[in-house]
Amino acid sequence: MFDVIVIGAGPAGASAARAAARAGATVCLLERAELPRYKTCGGGLVGLSADHAGVDLSNLVRASIDQLTVTLNGRLARTRRRPGRPMLSMVMRSEFDRALADSACAAGASLRTGVHVTGLREVTGPTGPAGLDGPAGLDGPAGGEVRAAERFQRQQAGCVEVSVRGGPDLRARVVVGADGASGRTGGYVGVRCDQVDVGLEGEFPVSAPTARRWAGRVLLDWGPVPGSYAWLFPKGEALTVGVIGSRAHGGALRSYYTDLVRGLGLDAVTPLHDSGHLTRVRAVGSPLRRGRVLVAGDAAGLLDPWTREGISFALRSGRLAGEAAARAALGDPCALVDYPRRVEAVLGPEMDAGREVQAVYTRHPGLLHALLTCMPGTFGLFGRIVDGRTTVARQLRRPGVRSVTAAITR
């Protein structure tokens, strides 16, 4: 029996395993793939991701970004440079995730790769039926929490059984589900998502002159499909090119991607990787826990609804989940109940702000382009948001900004 089993060794899972092990729990980190593994992702680390990674990034960063080219559906290009602190750092997810998993192991977690989790089952203690086995909302009354805490104490002998393909079941006091957007644990916990997007992405090897042309510079294109955008991220000898937008517009997104690749002159280049992946944004108030199972990162639908930036959300929710899981496994009856509230306090305002911006952006993509390219100070502000010195949530609370946003969305 482990104190904590973490399912999935992406940023959320590795961060959870590391936090739980550091808190003194016995931790097993289960990963379906062999590491390093490819993950469909731009590999762009915003400032918050770099701050919360907790690993030495110096050997992982392929490019530091201080220039941004923005276009509106391939037109009206404008390039701006911001000297000094880089806005973004580019990594290969295979290398970044491997380093995170190594740091979890260094903290004391045991990593098992090639282990495919197929199901979860909560086993209650000998004293009665499960008290924590239903989806838990965020706003339970205080009396309910005390009762939940008492039930938890009564159930100290309870655990979660984790079924794995081709092997014996494993057991833990608490499980953290960090198995990504297509994993099983989100469904087990009852996570509801109200925004499902599809990302299409290719990684293209490029010649030295092309690599030089994009060195230190990213391209963002505000797309023709409502709420979509495209990116080009330089990674030294390779470029990552992708688009993301609502799954409802899958066919149009495919055309957008094809046109983008052609427009960049990469259509004759055989990509190193060419793949698609869903992202799912949780609905407000959606569960983050069911009994002794917590969910973090993409499994919980925690990512920015506008940019679909998810690494910083995965790292931060993973750490909170790992800490809560360890505290619960080691006897703190309130830890599991606290987890959703902590996530909501830290990530909730950022997700709310992302929803607001996405609503405006979906209706008026040209407005964002005009603000970024023509309005003094906006590019600098964008840079400070990306590098983590401020957040969209903080900016939306500024006097005047809220009323302007409300007027635009009406």
Ligand X SMILES: Cc1cc2nc3c(=O)[nH]c(=O)nc-3n(C[C@H](O)[C@H](O)[C@H](O)COP(=O)(O)OP(=O)(O)OC[C@H]3O[C@@H](n4cnc5c(N)ncnc54)[C@H](O)[C@@H]3O)c2cc1C
Chain contacts with ligand X (rule: CB under 6 A): 7-13, 30-33, 39-44, 49, 116-117, 178-180, 183-184, 199, 201, 242, 244, 277, 279, 297-299, 303, 308-311, 314
Place of tokens 């080691």: 330
**Nearest-approach distance from CB 305 to ligand X, in angstroms:** 12
**Nearest-approach distance from CB 408 to ligand X, in angstroms:** 26
Distance CA 62, CA 58 (A): 9
* Cα angle 356-361-362, degrees, rounded to a multiple of 5: 100
- With the C-alpha atoms ordered 131, 135, 138, 139, is the resulting torsion angle positive or negative? negative
**Nearest-approach distance from CB 317 to ligand X, in angstroms:** 8
Which residue, judged by CB position, is nearest to ligand X in the bound state?
Answer: 310
Nearer to ligand X, 31 or 124 (CB): 31
Nearer to ligand X, 151 or 280 (CB): 280
Nearer to ligand X, 191 or 299 (CB): 299
| 340 alpha carbon, distance to own chain's centre | 16
- Indicate the burial class of 128 (C-beta count within 10 angstroms; 0-12, 13-18, 19 or more): exposed
Written as one letter, the residue type at 275 is S
Token readout for 122 is: 């909560």
Token readout for 410 is: 């009406």
**Nearest-approach distance from CB 97 to ligand X, in angstroms:** 7
**Nearest-approach distance from CB 91 to ligand X, in angstroms:** 9
Nearer to ligand X, 250 or 331 (CB): 250
124 SS3 class: coil
Place of tokens 């957007």: 181
**Nearest-approach distance from CB 316 to ligand X, in angstroms:** 11
Token readout for 53 is: 């990674």
**Nearest-approach distance from CB 332 to ligand X, in angstroms:** 25
Nearer to ligand X, 147 or 165 (CB): 165
Nearer to ligand X, 29 or 149 (CB): 29
Written as one letter, the residue type at 31 is E
Distance CA 307, CA 106 (A): 32
Other CB atoms within a 10 A radius of the CB of residue 113 amount to 14
Phi, psi angle pair for 48, to nearest 5°: -65, -35
Nearer to ligand X, 154 or 384 (CB): 384
